[in-house]
Amino acid sequence: MNQSYIINQLGEERENYFQAVSPPIMQSSNFTFEDISTMRESLKDELNTPFYTRGCNPTVAILRKKVAALEKAEDALIFGSGSAANSAAVISQVKAGDHIICVDKPYSWTNKLMTHLLARFNVETTFIDGTDAANYENAIRPNTKLLFLETPNSMTFELQDIEAVVKIAKKHNLVTILDNSYASPIFQNPIEMGIDMVTHSATKYMCGHSDVVAGVVCGSYEHIRQIFASEYMTLGAAISPNDAWLMMRGLRTLPIRMKYIAESTFKIATWLESHPKIEKVHYPFSPNFPQYELAKKQLKNASGLFSIQLKANNIEEVERFCNHLQHFLLACSWGGHESLVFPICVLYTSENYGSSTLPWNLVRLNIGLEETEVLMEDLERGFEAMKRCQVK
């Protein structure tokens, strides 16, 4: 199945809705039946039969097919957020007394899920440096059930060697879940490399327009059926039909957006590497990146998210850099059409994200769909503002 077919045809049953190119938004919470026997029959497969929209909705069903195919998975579930997707996938694999091994520095709310919520239910997590796959194996205990990966991570972009971790998991009969948000299904397909379940914050690239919060879990029919029957239906973090439709519209342009963003980001990141106001660039597709070879091996391309460390004397200079940018918007999140800047020093007062061990001069950039030159000019504007600070 090629990408064009998946994005433009798969799952669409146009003969059922006036041959409309764009599918209808089935804005209905429930579905009616002609008689009891058909109603009873439909309950046998609530995952795939419209009965109640928390379970199955026809607009969401089209999206599920496309998302699963893009990730080369058998099936997928769509959630109301990436955090809901990660939580459902992780919770589905553990019970009280179990142990998880997770890469250190995962997404902040993945960390919270493990350190706070699951800890309350006597599920323990060990966080390991994932740059050496052996650390996963060394942390295994008799009660370990799950290895969690996020590669690259979304602040400093350390990678885990997917094939090496899969090998360890298979040897010890453990389940693997990988948060693939950074790469999108266009640049990395971990299920092909043996990972059991892939999650995404679809809020980022898959939706791509900074107007929807959504998440996905992809995996085998068995894993998806299991999550559906429990976490998906119980926790109830379903996506609305309207948001599912917006996500589908996002997918129509996903490959072309990723292509443009990757090209633009490569130009900007390599330009920044030799810039006098830059101390360091964290970008997986730079030959200077410590895991460059691994990045080239398991990623088809690097996406638009990377970090820089400014050659700044103090936080005020970092702030001046960010405050003087005109095109880069000062905001969290990423993966949308618009370029963003997110300085780590913003987290220093937040309880939820606090105790950051990341360098104070670290600034994360999200490259959007603007002209590359316009973005470079804008960054130069920020660097100039830093210098003005020095002479004062």
Ligand X SMILES: *Cc1c(COP(=O)(O)O)cnc(C)c1O
Question: CA 272 to CA 274: how far, in whole Å?
Answer: 5
In the complex, minimum distance from the CB of residue 302 to ligand X, in angstroms, rounded to a whole number: 15
In the complex, minimum distance from the CB of residue 389 to ligand X, in angstroms, rounded to a whole number: 31
In the complex, minimum distance from the CB of residue 381 to ligand X, in angstroms, rounded to a whole number: 27
Residue 52 DSSP one-character state: B
- Residue 383 near residue 325 (C-beta atoms within 8 A): no
Of 145, 103, 151, the C-alpha closest to 124 is 145
Nearer of residues 58 and 215 to ligand X, judged by Cβ: 215
In the complex, minimum distance from the CB of residue 357 to ligand X, in angstroms, rounded to a whole number: 18
Question: CA 22 to CA 42: how far, in whole Å?
Answer: 26
Question: Quick one: angle between helices 254-273 and 241-252, nearest 10?
Answer: 60
Element housing 198 (H / E)? strand 197-201
Nearer of residues 71 and 179 to ligand X, judged by Cβ: 179
The 3-state DSSP class for residue 249 equals: helix
Question: CA 233 to CA 209: how far, in whole Å?
Answer: 28
- Residue 153 near residue 180 (C-beta atoms within 8 A): no
Nearer of residues 57 and 83 to ligand X, judged by Cβ: 83
Question: Quick one: angle between helices 241-252 and 58-70, nearest 10?
Answer: 40
Nearer of residues 181 and 264 to ligand X, judged by Cβ: 181
Nearer of residues 37 and 357 to ligand X, judged by Cβ: 357
Nearer of residues 227 and 386 to ligand X, judged by Cβ: 227
Find the residue with minimal CB distance to ligand X.
Answer: 82
In the complex, minimum distance from the CB of residue 147 to ligand X, in angstroms, rounded to a whole number: 16
Of 156, 338, 329, 331, the C-alpha closest to 257 is 338
In the complex, minimum distance from the CB of residue 113 to ligand X, in angstroms, rounded to a whole number: 10
Nearer of residues 212 and 268 to ligand X, judged by Cβ: 212
Nearer of residues 237 and 310 to ligand X, judged by Cβ: 237
Phi, psi (5° rounding) for residue 182? -55, -45
Express the helix, strand and coil content of the chain in percent, nearest 5 each. 45, 15, 40
Q: How far is CA 83 from the centre of its chain?
A: 9
Q: Show the DSSP H helices in the chain as ranges.
A: 3-8, 36-42, 58-70, 82-91, 108-112, 118-120, 134-138, 162-172, 184-187, 221-227, 233-235, 241-252, 254-273, 292-298, 315-323, 372-391
In the complex, minimum distance from the CB of residue 201 to ligand X, in angstroms, rounded to a whole number: 3
Nearer of residues 261 and 278 to ligand X, judged by Cβ: 261
In the complex, minimum distance from the CB of residue 5 to ligand X, in angstroms, rounded to a whole number: 27
Of 81, 91, 84, the C-alpha closest to 118 is 91
Nearer of residues 180 and 278 to ligand X, judged by Cβ: 180
In the complex, minimum distance from the CB of residue 219 to ligand X, in angstroms, rounded to a whole number: 17
> Where does this chain bind ligand X (CB under 6 A)?
81-83, 86, 107, 150, 154, 179, 181, 201, 203-204, 213, 215
In the complex, minimum distance from the CB of residue 376 to ligand X, in angstroms, rounded to a whole number: 25
